[in-house]
A and B are shown apart, each in its own frame.
Chain A
Amino acid sequence: DAGVIQSPRHEVTEMGQEVTLRCKPISGHNSLFWYRQTMMRGLELLIYFNNNVPIDDSGMPEDRFSAKMPNASFSTLKIQPSEPRDSAVYFCASRPTTGGRNIQYFGAGTRLSVL
């Protein structure tokens, strides 16, 4: 399996622009997670889905952030409008909902820079 695939690897945008980050989970994994990593706050869970349904979005910082999972093989995290403080590395992870030894497998991350 190719693992969790995230795109783009790097994104540079200007303040106020819309940013869309993409994730393809490992085939057969029913749970998908979005994390944000910053120097100040470390790794934080933003939102997670089970079977394409959002279960917990309490980590989403504000209404500018939204996430969707239209099918089992694709998810997006959108920031609109983007701000410089959104600059971070965003990770997507997936795992089987049952079994799978409770292990989350991470993508390579997207480094977002908002100027």
Chain B
Amino acid sequence: AQTVTQSQPEMSVQEAETVTLSCTYDTSESDYYLFWYKQPPSRQMILVIRQEAYKQQNATENRFSVNFQKAAKSFSLKISDSQLGDAAMYFCAYSRAQKLVFGQGTRLTINP
């Protein structure tokens, strides 16, 4: 079974600084998708960024980018110029055949 591991239960960063959240996963498949979802205190699950495993180029969405290392099965999220609104739980997720498998999450705190 596929598993997703987020080894950092909590992270904090100064406003305007850069932070990287780690994620590793385990799969024997070659074709799959990886996601980062954000869950603010409102509880809503919000898609941050998506990566297709067959693409070597790392996905970027404005201040958010990933470092996708397929051989190492690593998928980290970098947040540049951190803002107070980035404070949330961040979940890494793996998907193949429609099902999403989530990591345990990383709580990100932004210090003003």
Interface, chain B (partner A; CB < 8 A):
33, 35, 37, 42-47, 50, 91, 95, 98-105
CA gap between A15 and B5 in the complex, in Å: 34
* B45 adjacent to A48 (CB under 8 Å): no
Question: How many residues of A sit at the interface, in one of the four size bands?
Answer: 20 to 34
Cross-interface CB contact of B99 among A56, A101, A103, A108, cutoff 8 Å: A56
Interface of A is mostly: strand
Number of A-B residue pairs at CB separation under 8 A: 46
Going nearest first, the 5 A-B pairs with the smallest beta carbon separation are A106-B45, A43-B102, A102-B33, A42-B104, A109-B43
CA separation between A74 and B99, bound complex, in Å?
Answer: 20
Question: Do A109 and B99 have beta carbons less than 8 Å apart?
Answer: no
Provided the pairs A108-B42, A109-B43 are in contact, do residues A103 and B102 lie with their beta carbons within 8 angstroms? no
Tell whether, in the assembled complex, residue B91 and residue A43 are in contact, meaning their CB atoms are under 8 Å apart.
yes
Contacts of A108 in B (CB 8 A): 42-44
Interface 0/1 of A86-115, CB less than 8 Å to B:
000101010100000111111011010000
Contact A45–B100 (Cβ < 8 Å): yes
Known: A45-B100, A103-B50. A109 touches B44 (CB 8 A): yes
Chain A, Cβ-Cβ closest to B4: A42
